[in-house]
Amino acid sequence: MIDGAGQINPYILEKGVPHVQPSTDLLSTAVGDKRFHTWNYEMREHMDTKVFKVMLDAGFTCPNRDGSIAKGGCTFCSARGSGDFAGSRRDDLVTQFNNVRDRQHLKWPNAKYIGYFQAYTNTYAPVGELREYYEVILQQPGVVGLSIATRPDCLPDDVVEYLAELNQRTYLWVEMGLQTIHDSTSELINRAHDTQCYIEAVQKLRRHGIRVCTHIIHGLPQETHEMMLETVSAVANMDVQGIKIHLLHLMRKTPMVKQYEAGLLRFLEQDEYVKLIADSLELLPPEMIVHRLTGDAPRDLLIGPLWSLKKWEVLNAIDDELIARDTWQGKYWRKS
């Protein structure tokens, strides 16, 4: 099928973005108190208590920065490797974990925790080193699982085998950045991998039953509304169990600033983004867990869009849009 950039893209379904009669048997209009399958709902159902993700920085780098695959990193990525809210790598992992747990324990003494290895590429090391990092967090009181952020080109066989072992004894997610299915955009933002690489990585993990959360970004340079929904539609038909949808944030001292100054980037407006998210949710299978519907950026680093700083206002507007449309996650989803 021809994508929004006028190029043939084999990862877009022939039917494109579906325009079909709404489904009434996939999902009731509410999942808990929402019209989509939230991470919080999933945790309440399966953990039966409050669960916090503890964002960690284990000191990794990225093959897209150190020259082993490319240099410069993704053009949107901050100096902290998209881990701007993770603990400080000046502290060891246990200290980072305890700093968060000690604060949350005051209000939620019975809470459980998932160690989230967030910053940079968290499988980009020998298995022995990964084992040291992951196991020390699993040993901490209250930890019920791990979430490991990585790239699709950083999953060699021995790492996947270790992840499969972990998956047998803890609640495990592997979070991978796809960002877009449009390889022309991937090249523009210097992802240094294509969509086929991502699909193969998902297949590799799913052969071991490992849960996969796909990250995508709405608002990437030169992408149209149609192109963004093509990415959503493609993810909806991958064997992935979760999705994070990020709003593109332009941050100071990132390579994307030059693209913005060259006129290659237009910020989405809040109303535009809210409608885009509602459109996206309609295309997702009802069982897919929605881990996130927008993102965060440090106020002192954010160039735009500045409305994104009002995160709860945005999330409330999404809820209101779903109610106004009388729509829900999976309304227009069909298994291919």
Number of domains making up the chain: 1
In a domain, 25, yes or no: no
CATH number at residue 162: 3.20.20.70
Identify the residue with better confidence: 3 or 303: 303
User: For residue 191, is pLDDT > 60?
Assistant: yes
Distance between CA atoms of residues 201 and 142, nearest Å = 30
pLDDT classification of 89: cutoffs 50, 70, 90: low
pLDDT at 122 over 90: yes
Q: Pick from 48-62, 96-110, 148-162, 291-305 the range whose average pLDDT is largest.
A: 148-162
How far is the C-alpha of 335 from the C-alpha of 106, rounded, in Å?
45
Q: Is the pLDDT of residue 324 over 90?
A: yes
Q: Is residue 23 part of a domain?
A: no
Structural domain includes residue 204: yes
CA torsion sign, 123 to 126 to 127 to 128?
A: negative
Complete DSSP assignment for 68-127: SS-BS--TT--TTTT-TTSPPTTS-HHHHHHHHHHHHHHH-TT-EEEEEE-SS-TT-S-H
**% of the chain beyond a pLDDT of 70:** 87
CA 161/CA 139 separation, integer angstroms? 20
- Taking the CA of residue 148 as centre, how many other CA atoms within 13 Å lie in the half-sphere pointing to its CB? 35
Identify the band that residue 79 occupies on the pLDDT scale cut at 50, 70 and 90: low
pLDDT for residue 47: 86
Query: Using an 8 Å Cβ cutoff, are 230 and 3 in contact?
Result: yes
Residue 336 pLDDT exceeds 80: no
pLDDT at 71: 85
3-state secondary structure 194-209: CHHHHHHHHHHHHCCC
Residue 16 in domain: no
Q: Name the 3-class secondary structure at 222.
A: coil
Round to whole Å and give the CA distance between 293 and 278.
Answer: 10
Identify whether the C-beta of residue 121 lies closer than 8 Å to the C-beta of residue 58.
Answer: no
**Distance separating alpha carbons of residues 160 and 124, to the nearest angstrom:** 12
Helix (H) / strand (E) containing 190: none
pLDDT of residue 30: 53
- Partnered with residue 150 across adjacent β-strands are 176
Mean per-residue pLDDT over the chain, rounded: 88
CA 91, 117, 197: angle at the middle one, nearest 5? 140
State the pLDDT at residue 6: 46
| 147 φ, ψ (degrees, to nearest 5) | -130, 125
Backbone angles phi, psi at 185, to 5 degrees: -70, -40
Encoding tokens for residue 103?
């604060």
DSSP 1: -
Alpha-carbon distance of 333 to 27, in angstroms, equals 10
- What domain range is 101 assigned to? 39-325
For the stretch 199-219, pLDDT in tens is 999 999 999 999 999 999 999
Bond preceding residue 305 cis, omega within 30 of 0: yes
15 located within any domain: no
Q: What is the pLDDT of residue 72?
A: 85
Residue 313 lies in a domain: yes
Q: Which of the 8 DSSP states describes residue 2?
A: B
Whether 236 has a pLDDT exceeding 80, the answer reads yes
Looking at residue 175, what is its pLDDT? 98
- Does any domain span residue 92? yes
Query: Model confidence at 179, in pLDDT bands (50, 70, 90)?
Result: very high
**Residue listed under structure tokens 């295309």:** 283
Specify the range with the lowest mean pLDDT, choosing from 11-20, 28-37, 69-78, 121-130: 11-20
Give residue-wise pLDDT tens across range 254-310: 999 998 999 889 999 999 999 999 999 999 999 999 999 987 788 889 999 999 999
pLDDT one-digit tens code per residue, 4-44 = 444 444 444 433 333 334 444 444 445 668 999 999 999 98
> Does 240 fall in a domain?
yes
State the residue for tokens 């020259």.
Answer: 67
